Structure formats: C-alpha cells, structure tokens
Amino acid sequence: MSDNRNGSSNGAEAAAPRTDPALARQVTTLALSTWDLARRRADRELDDRGFLITLRAHQRLVASFERARNIPEEQRSRFYLRPDAVGSCLLIHGISTGPGDLDELGRILHDQGYNSYILRLPDFGRDLSTLSDNSWESYLNQVRDCFRLLDAGPGKVNVIGMGYGATLALLLARDHKPGSLTLLAPALIARESLLQRLLIRLRLHRIGFLRRWLSWNVDLVEGMDQARGVAGRLRIPVFAAQCEDDERASCDSLRFLQRKARHRASRFRLFPEGGHAILASHGEGSLYDAIIDFLGAEE
C-alpha cells in the first residue's frame, strides 16, 4: 500500500519519522493476510459474513498503515461497519478538508443502516503548499479500489463527495454505477482565469515551465474538466448542495449539475451563505436530514 500511486510525493508525509520496525512488520503481515483472504475468496461470491470479514481485515490494514505513516488522528480513514447493513456509503473528502470533516455524516449514515467508509486521500486536507505532483488519475484509482471493495457487499454503494471529492465521485461514475451520488460543495468550475482554463483545456499545462507558472492545481482543474463531461451522461440519482458564497468553487458548479441531471429523483439545494465548509454550516438540522431522506428514497 502506497501513498504515491502516480508521481513522487514531496509533501509533509514524505518527511514522516522513521517507522518502528515492529509496526512495519505488523503492516506487512496484515497486508499479506488481507491479500491472501481476497485471493482465496476471488473465485466465489461473498456472503454477508464473508464480506464483513474482508472489510474488517482491510480496516485493520489501513489503520496499521496510517499509524506507521504517523498520519494525524483527525486525518485517518474511518470505517463504521455493521453486520446488518442495507448498503454502503463511500465518503470522499476534498482538497481543503479531511476524513474528520465527514466523520459526523459517516456516523449518522451508519446509524441509518449503512456501512460507512471515509477514505483518506494522500496529501489532501493539508496546507496547499504540501500537495504532491500526484495526478487526479492516481486519486481516482484509489477511489475506484475502495468502491470495488464495498461493491462486493450487500445493497448498493452510495458515493458522497465533498469539494474535489465530488469531482472524483463523478469521475468514478463514468466507469462504475453507484446507487446514487451526493455532491457537497462540488468543485466542478474552479475560480481560475480564462487564460488558465484555456491552457488547461489545450493540455498545455503538461509543459514543465507552464505547469510551474500556472501553480499546483492545474492537474486538478483538468480533472474538473473531465468530470463535467461525465455529468450529462449519468442515469443515477444525484443530490447536490452548495453555498452561493463558496470561496473555493464557483456556485455555477451546482447550476451546471442541475442542467445536466438526467434522473427524475435528483435533488438540488442552494444556500445563500455558508462558504465551502457546507457541512459545518448546514449539516446539523438541515443537510444531514436531506441526505438521509434522499438515500432512503432510493432504497
């Protein structure tokens, strides 16, 4: 298991202290055990008990790996599992947020009968200067792996993305079919200049000196372009919510999703204020209830 699936990491995680040898051996043992468990079950369909065993093995592996990497507690992945789950929810944080920002929603969904997996994206949720050169494709690969893990279990997998996590959720839906998408403060239209957007559209940002001039986020903006091309082809329910004063992603992102929606059960909410931290501003008493109602209508 690696934080660097496509490109080198030059962020804070790369400077982590030397790992305790005993902890490293534990991670290796868990990795081999999890791989062996998945290999032995690959040729037959998982029952509910087998799925839960596999998911708990993955949970222990991820927990040991993140401890070995000295990931801060608030940035670590979360698993809320139950043997009687009606389905699963995969929660994806964004650039300026981390798993901790989705923790309350994950717990609420667990109480409503779902397995909840809040994954941790490497380098995200940190100061922007620590973002690595990993591509949006590498983050999408991680999201796909987590989706496939949950998709082996009972019920549908509902995907919830916040900020750039909403971009990754849309890109996931290009090749897989979640039960639904919940897109919070979706980052589909960046607050970039026309020149920057044009250079990215022409893929000139791949040239080294232009990439440095355009800054760290050019590859992520390319991912947004790709995600907008997916939105009009979806045939699954979409719930999207955004604040008009979102300082990180243009609220035109929500209007774009409304125009592109193809499923009659899709819903949209626009709040006049609350900024990019939409769950902190509107989660309790409003947005959490709306998400639960949306998911319940799809069961």
pLDDT(17) > 80: no
pTM (global) more than 0.75: yes
Q: What mean pLDDT do residues 4-26 have?
A: 49
pLDDT tens for 148-199 read 999 999 999 999 999 999 999 999 999 999 999 999 999 998 766 666 666 6
Beta bridge partners of 159: 90, 181
Q: Which residues, 6 or more positions from 196, have their beta carbon under 8 angstroms from its beta carbon?
A: 214, 218, 221
CA 76 to chain centre: 13
Task: List the domain boundaries for the chain.
Answer: 16-70, 78-298
Q: How confident is the prediction for the chain on average, in pLDDT?
A: 82
Residue-level pLDDT at 107: 98
Taking the C-alpha atoms of residue 65 and residue 85, their distance in angstroms, rounded to an integer, is 26
**Band (286; pLDDT cuts 50, 70, 90):** very high
From the list 236, 58, 280, the residue with the least C-alpha distance to 149 is 58
Count the neighbouring beta carbons within 10 Å of the beta carbon of residue 79.
18
Mean local confidence (pLDDT), 22-44: 55
pLDDT band with cut points at 50, 70 and 90 for residue 96 = confident
Cβ-Cβ contacts under 8 Å for 299 (sequence gap 6 or more): 86, 87, 155
Among 15-19, 28-32, 215-219, 224-228, the minimum mean pLDDT is found in 15-19
How many C-beta atoms surround the C-beta of residue 259 within 10 A?
A: 8
pLDDT at 213 over 80: no
Q: What integer pLDDT is reported at residue 201 of this predicted model?
A: 64
Instruction: State pLDDT tens for residues 250-275.
Output: 889 999 999 999 999 999 999 999 99
Domain spanning 78-298, CATH architecture: 3-Layer(aba) Sandwich (3.40)
Strand partners, 269: 241
- How many H-runs (helices) and E-runs (strands) does the chain carry? 11, 7
> Under 8 Å CB-to-CB from 145, ≥6 apart: which residues?
none
pLDDT bin (cut points 50, 70, 90) of residue 6 is very low
How do 78-80 and 114-119 pair as beta strands?
antiparallel
Q: Which residue has the higher pLDDT, 225 or 90?
A: 90
